[in-house]
Structure formats: structure tokens, C-alpha cells
Amino acid sequence: MHTVSISHVAQHVGEEVKIKGWVYNKRSSGSLFFLIIRDGTGFIQAIVAKDEVSDKDFQGCDGLTQESSLVVCGVIKADKRAPGGYELLVTRIRPLQIAEEYPVSLKKHGVDFLMDQRHLWLRTPRQAAILRIRHEIISGIRDFFDNRGFILIDAPILTPSSCEGTTTLFSTDYFDSTAYLSQSGQLYMEAAAMALGKVYCFGPTFRAEKSKTRRHLTEFWMVEPEMAWVDLDGNMELQEELVSHTVQRVLEERKKDLETIQRDIGRLKDIKPPFPRISYDEAVECLNKNGVQFEWGNDFGGGDETVLAEQFELPVFVHRYPSNIKAFYMKPDPVRPEICLSADLLAPEGYGEIIGGGQRIDDLETIMRRIKEHSLPEEAYTWYTDLRRYGSVPHSGFGLGIERAVAWICGLDHIRETIPFPRLMNRIYP
RNA sequence: UCCCUGGUAGCUCAAUGGCAGAGCAACCGGCUGUUAACCGGUGGGUUGUAGGUUCGAAUCCUACCCAGGGAGCCA
């Protein structure tokens, strides 16, 4: 008798099979037990009838508790009364371990409790569905780049100093000096792009900011492509293709999981290029027209981003921000040096910035001036400025926040559910 | 760091100055098609912590701790 996964039971109707899993729920009715069994791929109702199994097996069912592990044998049958449409008529049942009283019940729980039980919370249908969608998003992104000739380059996680010199970094002891956990692989990707043309990194990112909002984690994952010979327009084109490809892939491959989490997929279906593009100037005008007091030169807050995104059905690019609210390496606009060739992509439905990127400064004099203006330690950036000494070319790139993308595509109201074990300002357990 | 809200049984909540309560979970019993099954029964409490006001505090006051939401900062 061979083991089948619950997701494949439809192909085994009438056969006697083995299922290895856990008890999700149990109901009994005198001489019948209804066990809802899960195996990580799905859920199936198992019927244990007194007349169909040994007395020992039947009595054993009485002691089964929520999340007990077991191996059951039985015949797959289609039945309208069963949740999912199929059920298992049990012939043999072997408990492996009887679970202790399980903390996470099928009833309602509060966030604090669930976060403390995150290792067990992952077993619930909703959390498992989100993690499968996260996997699909990640694999969709990797396939997108791999199929377009990008080379995966792993950026270092331990770094000697800040990449951008602004945000708060986590520090750690590094022999007799201090190292910092990476907040971006971008500068290293610029070096790699000059070696290999089109590259990307995909790794964790760390920010020690004391942010307590539904959009922030202290540890999150980011994909950062970087391309030689590509300008701002080419950069935005790649972004809209990447985002559309990823959304369509999830719609095709994870329909069932989207149903499980009750995501309204109406607006996701239309996510296809081209995305609207507005300049920072136009965005400021748009905010003022919508009753938001906003002054040219400031950066957008969460609320401002939502107002802007609400004007469009699709994700929207906001490009050409003032240079002094962006990172030091953003290339100034040749006709208006006070603004730069940067672009952020704002997701619809209030999910905010999911991509930040732009064209980089490729001129040695300009990059040296910007490093001085930002009071960055010049020696630490020698390798970076070397890229402008030895065959500099126009180049662009961006960073896509995986968790924010997952939150948007899944329609979640908090980023903490998008990652298996979230790290927040005041939470590092489990 | 600042602002707002909250903390009562394992979990989710009620009790607003006067006997500490319910549903679920656990345990015992019943039921041959249940759908977060249902029905009957049992056990379960330092009301976040420390002070204070009061004849009397879960309830009012002060400080602290913890959590949630937001601001700033950011993807």
C-alpha cells in the first residue's frame, strides 16, 4: 500500500491508501469517529466506523487529541457530505504520538497569543496558505530573473559600514572591530553588474529602526537587481514586468490558497503592464488637490502614499524625487539637478511602497561630491568609487520588499503574517 | 522617543464601587453521517505588578511592566 498526499487523493478514488498526518479536529457519534486529518498538503475527513476496524483501533480513536500524529490506512471515496468532497474509510489506524493539550484551538485567538505560538500557528490553514503563496512569489521572482539572463549574486550580510549612511543598523562584534548587518546589497550589486551585466541578489535585510507599524519588520527579505547600460525608463519597464509576472503566476498556481485566505482577486487579475507613471511634482499637486497639505521637498508618509495609490487601479510609479530626500547615489536629472532619476512603485489598496529604485550616479566627480555632502567616510567607499574610475557606464536597479509584496498580493492587514518567524522591534521569540 | 487603546480561568470575552461569570478547551457520560457537531455533568482564578482612596476595589487614583494601533524613520 503506498502513501499518498492529501492533495492527490482525487486520483486514488476506490483505492486503499496510506496517509501520514496530524489530527486537525475530531468529532464522534457513538460508533463513528470523524477525524479531520491534515498532512501539510491538504485536509481530508477520515471515517472510523466501529464495524470496519479492530476494537483496539476503534478504542484508540477516543484518545486522539488535536494535532496527534498518526498513520491511517483506508479507502478513498467521493462523498458530498465530506468537506473537500473526498473522505477516507479507515481500515487501520496507528497513532504515532498523542499530542498534549494543544494551545491553538480552532476558535478565536488574540494576536499576542498567536505570535507567542507562531511555531504552532503555522499549522492552521490560513497561515499555511500564506506561506505557500509566499513561496510562489519568491519562486516566480527567481524564475523571472533567471529566464532573462540575470545572474544571482549573493551580497554579504556582514558589512563594514552603512550602505546608505542613513538608517539605524544592527551591529555585532567582529573580532576586534564592529560589523553591521546588511541593510541593502545594492552597492555590491553595482560592482557585480559591471562584471556580469545583469545581476540580482535575494537575501535578508536588517533595519534597527524602532518602527511599530503594520508595514515594518526588523528583518525582511529583499530582491535587488542591478543592470549595466539601463536608464530610469528601462528600469521601470523591468519593474512592471516583474510585478505583473509574479502576480499572474500566483493567480495561476495558487488559486486554492487565495480562496482559503479569502483574497478578492478581482483587482489582481488586471495587474498587467504598463503601470501609470507620475512625477514627484505631479504627486504633490495630486495630494494638494485631494485636500492633503503637502509641501514640495518633503517625503511622503504612509497616509500620503495611500491617497496617491487610491487614484489608480494599478500600482503607480512616482519618479524624479527631490535629490535630498533620496540616497546619495541617485543620479541627478540632467535638466533639473535638484531632482533625481529615482522611482518608487506604490502598490494599490493602501499597501504603500513595494519597490524603491533608480538610475545611479556614473560620474566620478558627482559621486565624490555626494559622498562629501552626506558626510560619509571616503576611504570606506574607495571600492565603490572605483566603479566610476574603471569603465563607468549608465546603470540602474531597484529593491523589492518581499514581505510588502506578499502582504499586498494576499490582502493582509499586517506584515507579520507574511514571514514564517517575524522579527519585530519587541519580538524575537519564537 | 512620543501619542492613543488595552491587560479578568489554558483561550475568547462579560461583570463600572457591593457574592468572580459565560462559551470554547480539559476530564466523565450519551448519541451510527458529523461539518468550528450536539446534549448532560465535573474541575478550573494572587482580576499584569506595587502602592493608595474607601466600610468595601476587577472597577477609582499614582507609578511601573507587557501587548496592540499610530507618529517619526523606512522596504
Helix (H) or strand (E) holding A284: helix A280-289
pLDDT score of A164: 53
Statement: residue A43 has pLDDT above 80: yes
Statement: residue A356 has pLDDT above 60: yes
CB contact at 8 A, A319 and A343: yes
Statement: residue A162 has pLDDT above 80: no
CA–C1' gap, A112 and B20, in angstroms: 25
CA–C1' gap, A272 and B52, in angstroms: 65
CA–C1' gap, A103 and B22, in angstroms: 20
pLDDT band at A167 (very low <50, low <70, confident <90, very high): low
CB contact at 8 A, A123 and A38: yes
pLDDT score of A222: 95
CA–C1' gap, A422 and B19, in angstroms: 45
pLDDT score of A200: 98
pLDDT score of A100: 87
Statement: residue A165 has pLDDT above 70: no
pLDDT band at A339 (very low <50, low <70, confident <90, very high): very high
pLDDT score of A178: 85
Which nt has its C1' nearest the CA of A416?
B68
Which nt has its C1' nearest the CA of A184?
B75
Express each pLDDT in A223-250 by its tens digit: 999 999 999 999 999 999 999 999 999 9
Strand B positions within 7 A of protein Cβ atoms: 1-2, 10-13, 23-27, 30-38, 66-75
Statement: residue A204 has pLDDT above 70: yes
pLDDT (average), residues A310-320: 94
- Per DSSP (E only), the strands in A85-218 are 86-97, 151-152, 158-159, 171-174, 177-181, 198-206
Q: Which residues pair with A38 in a beta bridge?
A: A22, A43
Statement: residue A293 has pLDDT above 90: no
Statement: residue A301 has pLDDT above 60: yes
CA–C1' gap, A380 and B5, in angstroms: 46
Which nt has its C1' nearest the CA of A414?
B69
Domains of chain A: 6-97 (2.40.50.140), 118-418 (3.30.930.10)
